[in-house]
Amino acid sequence: MKKINRRNFVTAASTGFLGLALGGKSANAHSILVPGQEEGSKIKNYNAFGKTGLKVSDVIFGAGQVFSSDVIRYAFDLGVNTFDTAEHYMNGKSEELVGAGLKGIRDKAIIITKLPFWGGRPKTKQSILERMNKSLKKLQTDYVDFLFIHMIDDLSLVKDVEVRSAYEQLKKEGKVRFTGFSTHNAKGTLAECVKPDLIDFMDAILFMYNHMEGQEIEHLVKAVRQKGIGTIAMKVLAGGKQGNLKAFIPKAGSYPGAAIGWALGNKNLDCCVMTMGSFTQVDEYVAASGKKLKRDDLATLRTYKKLVDKEYCRVSCSECETACPKRVAISDIMRYAMYFEDYKQEKIALQHYKDLDIKKKPLSCASCTGPCISACPHGLPVKEKLLSAHQMLIT
């Protein structure tokens, strides 16, 4: 298969699609280095992936919003060796694109996929086996390296007899090599996942970790890594608000480069997953591989934190929710708003909001005095943000 580079892709692609794949840049963008990128930037570090025996690139490909298999292949050619997708990403299209992008090089790549169980999805063993068979077909492979239980707040699904039995059978059949889970609630899951009755399931886990709230869970990350569990950080950009901060121009390098460098500074972290939707994003994130933080990077992180401190709803936090008499899903709604406004993942955000139980939506906020506001230790205007999120996300 011909190697994909920015130049031959630009020649081949139609202009309409190109705008999307290049993240809105012009057709000449291939000749411009992104901030922090050096000519020929490639992945520099491969880390032991827990106790699996695998080596993982320190920056891995998040396929939650990718529109071309060429972008996947391009990342592989730059040394990214691990590709993270999920059954439901882009309504199943993500797995198809990962399969197409890795065609012919499947044995050189590590594939992570995930099954969600929210929104009334069945949890029976038979249904899980069937879902996995469909995923394998889309991925054009007869096995995945990792199958995670997707986005759990506690470990009840790991303990569920049907779910556990299905994942174990998939391992025995060779369709899945390793298992684990992904979570936004590291505080509520990492300490428990190392318990003797659960540890066998824990080959790798994926959790929120970034420069604005990662410090709080570093002891937990260390504890799981010491047990040989592979560790993957997500939400590394702490809201990814840099695109909406007009006055925020790093003195050197880029904000994503600094944020990835901060995360990779934790030796208990095996890799960071970054959503790569365009060639430009691949270039920018790959350039951060092996990065050691410099003084300018630290200044960039400090400036970012200052600018978003009262805007960024911490992903791992739910402190204000106990103050809400209506039990509004504040943290989830804030996260969906972040997907919409900052990540530009409008469809994903709208779908999540649609799936949210109506009782947890902020329908009573307008007439409420807003005890959630004083309950937020970070000073976010919670009520105001929820009302505007509802306006933005209602379909």
Binding ligand SF4 (rule: CB under 6 A), the pick from 136, 386, 389, 393 is: 386
Q: Which of residues 166 and 313 has its CB atom nearest to ligand SF4 in the complex?
A: 313
If one asks whether residue 314 binds ligand SF4 (CB under 6 A), the answer comes out as yes
Residues 326-365 that bind ligand SF4 (CB under 6 A): 326, 328, 330-331, 334, 362, 364-365
Nearest to 228 by CA among 46, 48, 45: 48
The partner residues of 62 in beta bridges, in order of sequence, read: 84, 275
Residue 188, classed as helix, strand or coil, is helix
Binds ligand SF4 (CB under 6 A): choice among 54, 78, 380, 389: 380
Q: Contacting ligand SF4 (CB under 6 A), which of 299, 319, 350, 392? A: 319
- Is-catalytic flag, 167? no
CB of 331 to ligand SF4, least distance (A): 4
Which structure tokens are listed for 178? 């390793």
Catalytic residue selected from 46, 74, 89, 343: 89
Among 99, 383, 389, 393, binds ligand SF4 (CB under 6 A): 383
384 within 8 A of 372, measured Cβ to Cβ = no
Distance CA 254, CA 303 (A): 12
Q: How far apart (Å, rounded) are the C-alpha atoms in residues 259 and 263?
A: 6
Q: Are 45 and 58 spatial neighbours (Cβ–Cβ below 8 Å)?
A: yes
In the complex, minimum distance from the CB of residue 240 to ligand SF4, in angstroms, rounded to a whole number = 16
Find the length of the chain: 395
313 part of the interface to ligand SF4, by CB under 6 A: yes
Nearest to 256 by CA among 245, 217, 267: 245
* Dihedral angle of Cα 281, 282, 287, 290, to the nearest 10 degrees: 120
Which residue in 318, 336, 338, 348 binds ligand SF4 (CB under 6 A)? 318
Catalytic residues: 89
* Residues at the contact surface with ligand SF4, assessed by CB under 6 A: 313-314, 317-320, 324, 326, 328, 330-331, 334, 362, 364-365, 368, 370-372, 376, 378, 380, 382-383, 386
